[in-house]
Amino acid sequence: MAKDFVLAYARMIVKYPDAVSVEILALDESTEEITIYADPEDVGKLIGKEGRMINAIKTVISGCKAKYGKSYRVNVKAKT
């Protein structure tokens, strides 16, 4: 659920939507790390001015905590 949302939302924001991919890594029983990989040119768009875009993504994902009982960390990285 969270992976699908982040992937769809990130693809709407960036210039190169086909380059976007999302990976989820379980850190422990209650925490998962979501990493968004994007074209180096699009990383700034995903983070946004003063971090507003990534904070908006984190806010929506925090709603999943209430439903699924897991905490999420969100990172953005450039594809190499």
Domain that holds residue 61: 2-78
Q: Per-residue pLDDT for 67 more than 90?
A: no
Q: Supply 48's token pair.
A: 């946004």
pLDDT band at 11 (very low <50, low <70, confident <90, very high): very high
Q: Could you give the CA distance from residue 10 to residue 26 in angstroms, rounded to a whole number? A: 21
Q: Domain holding 6: CATH number? A: 3.30.300.20
Number of domains present in the structure of the chain: 1
**For 17-61, what is each residue's pLDDT tens digit?**
999 999 999 999 889 999 999 999 999 999 999 999 999 999 988
Q: Say if residue 38 is exposed, middle or buried (CB neighbours under 10 Å; 0-12, 13-18, 19+).
A: buried
Closest CA to 77 of 27, 49, 30, 42: 42
Q: What is the pTM of this model?
A: 0.88
Backbone angles phi, psi at 40, to 5 degrees: -55, -30
pLDDT band at 70 (very low <50, low <70, confident <90, very high): confident
